[in-house]
Structure 1
Amino acid sequence: MGVRTALDAVLTAPSIVDAMRAADDLAFEAGRDPGARTIRLLAGVLRGHDELAAIAATHALAGMLDDAASRVLVGLLDDDREFEREHAAWALGSGLPRYDAVGGLLRMVVGGGFAGMLAQRTLEQWSGFAPTALVAGIEGALLGIAEPEARARLVETLGLVRDPLATGPLLRLASDADEPQPVRIAAVAALGQRPDPSAVVPMLESAAQGDGFLGAVARLALVDLAAAGPTTRGHGHGHELGRGLTVAQLFLHADLDPGLRSAGAGDNGGIATLLVRLGDALVADPGTGVNRVVTLSRGSAADALDDLVSVEASERGHVYGRIPLLHEPVSSAGAWPLRVAARRGIRRVLRAAGGADVLHLRMADVGSLAAADVARELGTPVVFTLAPDPHAVIDSLDRSGRLARGDFGRVDLAEHFWFRARLVNRLAADAAHTVLFPRPRLEDDLRRLVGVDLATDSERRTIVPEGVDAAAVDRALAEVGTPRTGADASPALAELRRLVEGLDPDRRGRPLVVSVGRLHRVKGMAALVEAWAASPVASRANLLLVGGDLASPSADERAELDRIDAIVPPAERARRGLLLPGHRPNDVVARWLAAARLGLPGSVAPRGVYACGSLKEEFGIALLEAMAAGLFVVAPNGGGPATYIDDGVTGILTATSDGARLSAALGRAVAVAQAETDDQRAERSRAMVRDRFTVQRMARVLAEVYRTVVRDEATLLESAERSR
């Protein structure tokens, strides 16, 4: 193709996602033709107004493995454009160490954030080649930095230098009572990965005697030191020994527990509910061949220590392993700097489990980034759920005019589109098997947006619909539908009645429009309030939004709450019929959905509806739960919902990003539901979920994927052994 042709393809690509894919060809061609002319061509683009092309040129320079090209990248660390500094720090990791870049990269580590993570990652990749320079550079940087969190980031980076040269400084920092707590914690955590354990054990044992946070981290570091070496499981060993498979699954940005008590708070969305229900279903059915599921999520250092004991002792069942991130919980978008802590915690749990036969990853986030590193280290095969995210979001913003080539770099600073898209592609390419959601135009979307051809290696790809616990919904319906005198059948129903009784008297006895999910702009809760308030349906139905941590809202939750308050001020909620109770456990939600369908005498009229205002919904667990309850639904007209909602029959598909169309859909949905005189449509919805979308069915399909992966891995290992 040639560099000039490849560059023209980036510059003239018809869409942003096309240009991002063309950037791969540009990097390849630059690597084939390194030299002064190629550098001049790329440097010219770097200085232009097309920020997307400038990013492509930055990564093409990294592909050249050329000293002059590397000098250009080093110079970009001081560029006045922040996005260029960020991408230069990332791109430098593709080549050999540059001593003239260490200072600039360490400045970015001190600054923190996503850029600091990228700079730290590059320094880690160089650490095996230039440990002396890195240790000296970090120690020098520490002399001029007093801010505790910035010092802690430098110490964490020092801990990534595996050479014994870094052990002495780490021990001094960990033992220094005058150092701030974050710095000592970073040093103690790093000591658990030292290659010379005899030098650090006495200090860790002493620190582990303490009762505070530092003591808990020291005890975890001792666990890390003791667990060094190969794992005893994996590559089909569990299957060969007849004890069934161990499957590990991960969602880092949630507080997972068997009762789903935190569902709907922060980032605890549908994926959190799915992993709990799926893990239970995999181990409950003997036919799956899965004896044990290890579900990993975030948690405290103390909880992590307790979990290690239970995980290590387990041979079967669904067990949980908490990952201490040594930081207050943050949103998934802000969690990238927690990569090192996440990786240590994931490695620790998998080692306590004796390894896993397969690791299932689902998100393009810091958890998957860290877990993929651990899987490579331990030799664990990965199954990856592939979806066009963020590709579909990029494409949607591009088509709507809200994202353009000229400002792509500045938008990317907040959204990390380029990195996340590359992470999706890498995870899909490295996975032993990819799992796909049903979509109306699945093959076309993946080819156009992600660049994946499903016809290639089709035996390593499986379409797996997600599923819900229909039996739990059936129990809720039976409870709500059983006539009772006096008190409600459960505290959940009594609470719903109290919520409705808190409305003005004339608002009671009306049907409910229900929505369940996280308070995040992508989930469209505020947009749903706006559409409901603008529709005549607001005078006929109350709106119940279930989700969000109202006591301690995250930044995303606070922003969405502020938008809701601007539409319906808190003082007007009772008069206008808005119910905002916050998040509730999944079994409570099931009962409230049942009550929306069947009603609560004197409080809630029957035949309410369910509405999902999400900008995008890859599949829609809450939608399926609502349909399992027999509710008529409103949903986005793309992604997963379009594959199971019969538009106009079991629900209404609409452009949820368009407030007027969402408002009209709500009005139509309530009118349709209230006009029903029998349960024929409701039973059709319920039968569809029972037949196609139960979590038990999902577990059986996934179990076959896991067994296939384990068999294939065992075959590869046997072949490798024979060839020696």
Structure 2
Amino acid sequence: MSVLLTGLGPSLTAQNSVARVLTLTTARPTEADRCDLAQPSGRSHLLVRLPVDSPQPLDPHTAVEHQAALAWWTARIFELPGYRPDITHVRFADDASLAVARTARRRGAKLAFTVTPDPHRTIDERHAGLPPEHTGDAARALRLDLHRIFVADCLVARADLLVAMPAAPGGQELAAHFPQLAERPVHIQPEGIAPFHPAAADDDTAHGQLARLYGGASASGLEAEDRELPLLLCVGRLHPVKQQEHLVKAWVLAGLHHRTTLLLVGGSPTVPTPDEAAVRARLAQHLATDPVAERRAALWPALPNRQVRLLERALAQRGPGTVLYVCPSAKEEFGLAVLEAMEAGLPVAAPQRGGASHYLHDGVNGRLLATHSVERLADGLRSLVSTPVPELAAMAEAGAATVRERLGIDAMAASLADAYRTTCGASRPADQPQRAEGKSGERDVTGRS
């Protein structure tokens, strides 16, 4: 999400109707004592990190404890000359978004909210089989899910503009969880990625990444002798919902560790969260049960986005069928990492469930996988690896064209700017304060990652 917003801000300010964009996020604990928490990023785009007193990055479990601090910092930002927004766009159904939304409305700003089927979908699945007397972790999870549903409904009720990502063909999931949307217009907005711009040092960086990848186990890499085997690549944060554990188990269950290699990229390189540490430990445990799998799998910590995209391009140059990108998540609302792999020229496979099915047509520009069980994922991986090379090459070419023609950041920015302008131009309800527009009718926009 941070990569999306970093690219979206400059693209929004390129639109004539948007004067300034503030992107609000929270400062990581190691950054909270720095004095450069606000940094320019392109013309009239400012990245602002709000300090919070937390040993770990905020998540839905802990955000409620920091509502007051986030509201205070947001209010201070919005009081600066020229930084009072016309519209504030919040993305997640959590207490951090609610704190920013409340502050924005007190300052007279319009509110946009990106509404998704979660957390409603989560509560349906997580608690469907539980007995009435749930206790312990199950009870805590239930309370959190119910609270997040309350937060999501509050944000929907407060929002002047509702934004949603395209649903799967024929999908009614959002309407089922939010019946109130039957009476509300929703702006349907695909996400997009920024174009990749080559730089002078790219070849050296890519060469170094490939040398690291095939530098042997001592370099957290793969053996040089396995260089000619097909590689499965997966990039994403280490978290249970991303299901890297499912991927490793399915890879072994399908017997693919005997004829392919695996590279997982994700997780903090310095201070892992509890989720990251737990996932990393379980991955190591799974791999340790099979010496071949352990030798042919590599786990790298997260890389800067540009380095990920350089790595994907370098791997794509090896030729069709030699590298396959796999997203094993339980669901992806849209799948920006999948789009980046497609744009780089890799054949991709992503979950049937979620936003990927909006732009992936199975067997045409990618593959859709059943990821709800290890067994089904193993079947999908086996089929993917067995796909003839000409078909993989055609899918990769079609996938790159899909991103290039339909899913760029500029098209996303133009569509959102139109929606913001329309919303800010609409009359405000009688019980809401009025505020002046920027010069020449331009709008100030803020977003929270």
The TM-score, its normalising length taken from structure 2, stands at: 0.86
Shift of 1:328: 2.1
Instruction: Identify the residue that residue 351 of structure 1 maps to in structure 2.
Output: 79
For 1:413, give the aligned amino acid.
Answer: R
Task: Say whether the 8 Å CA contact 2:257–2:292 is kept in structure 1.
Answer: no
Of 282, 287, 295, which residue of structure 1 is paired with 2:23? 295
Where 1:354 maps in the other structure, the secondary structure is coil
Query: Alignment RMSD, CA only?
Result: 3.0
Shift of 1:396: 2.6
Task: Say whether the 8 Å CA contact 2:347–2:396 is kept in structure 1.
Answer: yes
Q: How does 1:234-383 map to 2 (within 5 A)?
A: 271-283=1-13, 285-287=14-16, 289-299=17-27, 300-303=31-34, 305-307=35-37, 317-332=44-59, 333-352=61-80, 353-383=82-112
Q: How does 1:159-238 map to 2 (within 5 A)?
A: none
Between the aligned partners of 1:671 and 1:625, the Cα distance in structure 2 is 23
Shift of 1:715: 9.1
Where 1:635 maps in the other structure, the secondary structure is strand
The alignment status of 1:563 with 2:293, answered yes or no, reads no
Instruction: Identify the residue that residue 507 of structure 1 maps to in structure 2.
Output: 226
Q: Deviations over 1:98-130 (max 9, x none)?
A: xxxxxxxxxxxxxxxxxxxxxxxxxxxxxxxxx
Shift of 1:718: 11
Between the aligned partners of 1:496 and 1:315, the Cα distance in structure 2 is 31
Q: How does 1:400-549 map to 2 (within 5 A)?
A: 401=129, 403-407=130-134, 411-414=138-141, 416-440=144-168, 444-454=172-182, 456-458=183-185, 461-469=186-194, 471-472=195-196, 475=198, 489-502=203-216, 503-549=222-268
Instruction: Identify the residue that residue 156 of structure 1 maps to in structure 2.
Output: none
**CA 1:521–1:475: 2 relative to 1, 3 Å:** same
The alignment status of 1:671 with 2:386, answered yes or no, reads yes
Between the aligned partners of 2:289 and 2:210, the Cα distance in structure 1 is 19
Between the aligned partners of 2:390 and 2:223, the Cα distance in structure 1 is 27
Q: Deviations over 1:155-174 (max 9, x none)?
A: xxxxxxxxxxxxxxxxxxxx
Q: How does 1:700-711 map to 2 (within 5 A)?
A: 700-711=414-425
The alignment status of 1:385 with 2:104, answered yes or no, reads no
**CA 1:433–1:507: 2 relative to 1, 3 Å:** same
Between the aligned partners of 2:131 and 2:324, the Cα distance in structure 1 is 38
**CA 1:645–1:404: 2 relative to 1, 3 Å:** farther
The alignment status of 1:598 with 2:317, answered yes or no, reads yes
The alignment status of 1:654 with 2:354, answered yes or no, reads no
Q: Percent identity, please.
A: 34
Where 1:628 maps in the other structure, the secondary structure is helix
Shift of 1:499: 2.1
Instruction: Identify the residue that residue 126 of structure 1 maps to in structure 2.
Output: none
Where 1:320 maps in the other structure, the secondary structure is strand
Q: Deviations over 1:28-49 (max 9, x none)?
A: xxxxxxxxxxxxxxxxxxxxxx
Greater helix share, 1 or 2? 1
Of 337, 349, 357, which residue of structure 2 is paired with 1:642? 357
Give every structure 1 segment of 4 or more consecutive aligned residues whose post-TM-superposition deviation is greater than 6 Å.
Answer: 714-721
Q: How many residues of Structure 1 are paired with residues of Structure 2 in the alignment?
A: 424
Task: Say whether the 8 Å CA contact 2:363–2:395 is kept in structure 1.
Answer: no
Shift of 1:420: 0.3
Between the aligned partners of 1:690 and 1:716, the Cα distance in structure 2 is 44
Between the aligned partners of 2:176 and 2:329, the Cα distance in structure 1 is 23
Instruction: Identify the residue that residue 304 of structure 2 maps to in structure 1.
Output: 585
For 2:228, give the aligned amino acid.
Answer: G
Shift of 1:635: 1.5
Where 2:300 maps in the other structure, the secondary structure is coil
Shift of 1:365: 1.6
Structure 2 runs not aligned, ≥5 long: 217-221, 436-449
**CA 1:410–1:570: 2 relative to 1, 3 Å:** closer
The TM-score, its normalising length taken from structure 1, stands at: 0.54
Shift of 1:576: 2.7
